[in-house]
Structure 1
């Protein structure tokens, strides 16, 4: 579940900003020039390792940064992200708790903790964290998307649809929010609107395997085999994990109706 937790549940890497920047500067004043250079190098290495998907290495760099600046919330939250990406969820939550204790009015640690709680199926706690993010930043599109994910986990599909729609309105280029919106529409029987939305997403993002896989399943259900097969060929070339229905169900966490449609396609095909 490594890369997909970051991508689908949407953790965010913290950067030094606002109050955290002031805190970091005050702490760095106690470091010598060599330590400051080391800190900057470690931070660059940590971000580079994260970009490459090398999360254990990134965790090591964040740990070293925490040792240099133990009272700065940034390192704790970012190490938490690297641990989420390794499915070390309880350890990640402990890091996010520390970050929140150090910066209770910073939104990102709540968002990140919510992703870990969500991965554990602790829906109510995740929802509380996402709502806290929205108290701090009412226009946070990620928080709305993740709030929709948590409500979907509880089977509250209509509420999830509203949250995904709000996320997409706030961030029109937020493709995953639109994809989640389409999947939730399909779950609630709004098939035509779901397919229309999927097709629109693919026109803008033709290399988006998640939506192509979903569209494959939906079209196959409608008997549009040629178009379904065409989309599936693209999916296989982009991301072969959609062949694994257990991965789609448990890691990607598609809605049950869409999972069943894809399973039927894979089985009959």
Structure 2
């Protein structure tokens, strides 16, 4: 598939990015050669704005493209993506709905719509969309990771851990799924395995602030104070938001036991 995969740690999403071309399967079969060339041109202009992070301009360009080619699902889905980037979630939902109507057999818009449902805390709707992705693409690690996120949102941590585990098995280099699995293991009481996995992740990705902070909390709880302090210096230097428990709990959406452990570290260490 012609898309770029990006990830947002703050929202705990795995987000499928822009369709990067005009796939034949997604272009109207009745287009003339000239019309198809025009579609490629408007697609390329909108894509450049999106990839440069000019999201307001990108939204305008995708809207112009939709006016010319209203039956192309890639245009609707890509406009939904840039609307998400601006936190225009309800508008993005509308675009993903239209993309799905036009191309119900393509998994990407379901995956992205699921992330919006997560942001709106519509967990059941998110899970339903991730199930659709898995019906269409049974070995999609992103769908398993995101479904785990939505199940975690409902408080079903055992089920979430199972989905994260599958995502990791399907894509061993999927660092965010590995991190989510470690956090879920901590929540369900498998502390030693969780810490072991956190250390493995940090060993491989030493700049991964999320796991540095998680190691801080879990090691402090185990009494490994020096090692906890060392990881905290690295974590806070990489991302100071981990000093804000509300952000960790509400935006990053760590599990409750992990949030409590970090809170204990922050309070008892005088931070």
TM-score by length of 1: 0.90
Report if aligned partners of 2:110, 2:132 keep a CA contact under 8 Å in 1.
Answer: yes
User: What pairs with 1:230-249 in structure 2 (closer than 5 Å)?
Assistant: 230-249=230-249
Q: What is the 5 A alignment of 1:149-188?
A: 149-188=149-188
Task: Single out whichever of 218-227 and 31-40 deviates more from structure 2.
Answer: 31-40
Aligned residues of 1:117 and 1:125 also touching (Cα < 8 A): yes
Paired positions, count: 262
RMSD: 2.2
Distance 1:181 1:59 in 2: 35
Q: 5 Å matches for 1:1-269?
A: 4=8, 8-15=12-19, 20-24=23-27, 26=29, 27=31, 29=33, 31=35, 36-49=40-53, 54-269=54-269
Separation (CA, whole Å) in 2 of partners of 1:90 and 1:81: 12
Rounded to whole Å, the distance in 2 between the matches of 1:36 and 1:246 is 45
Distance 1:89-1:250 versus aligned 2 partners, 3 A rule = same
Partners of 2:74 and 2:11 in 1: CA distance? 20
**Is the CA contact (8 Å cut-off) linking 2:26 and 2:103 kept in structure 1?**
no
Residues 191 and 35 from structure 1, CA distance in 2 versus in 1: closer, same or farther, beyond 3 angstroms? closer
**SS of 2:138's equivalent?**
coil
- Tell me, in whole angstroms, the C-alpha distance in 2 between the residues paired with 1:215 and 1:85: 30
CA offsets 1:208-251 (integer angstroms, 9 cap, x no match): 11111111111111111111111111112211111111111111
Relative distance call for 1:55 and 1:231 in structure 2 (3 A) is farther
Post-superposition shift, 1:88?
1.8
Task: Choose between structure 1 and 2: higher strand proportion.
Answer: 2
3-state SS of paired residue (1:207): coil
User: Which has the larger share of helix?
Assistant: 1
* 2: CA distance, partners of 1:64 / 1:28: 19
Question: Please, which runs of 5 or more residues in structure 1 have no aligned partner?
Answer: none
Shift of 1:32: 8.0
Give a deviation string over 1:61-89, Cα, whole Å, max 9, x none.
33233233221111211221222233222
State the distance in 2 between where 1:185 and 1:256 align: 12
CA offset at residue 263 of structure 1? 1.4
Q: Distance in 2 between matches of 1:234 and 1:193?
A: 22
Alpha-carbon deviations, 1:124-174, whole Å to 9, x = none? 111111011000000000000001011111111111111000000101100
Query: For the structure 1 residues 34 and 178, does the alpha-carbon distance in structure 2 shift closer, same or farther, using more than 3 Å as the test?
Result: closer
TM-superposed deviation, 1:39: 3.4
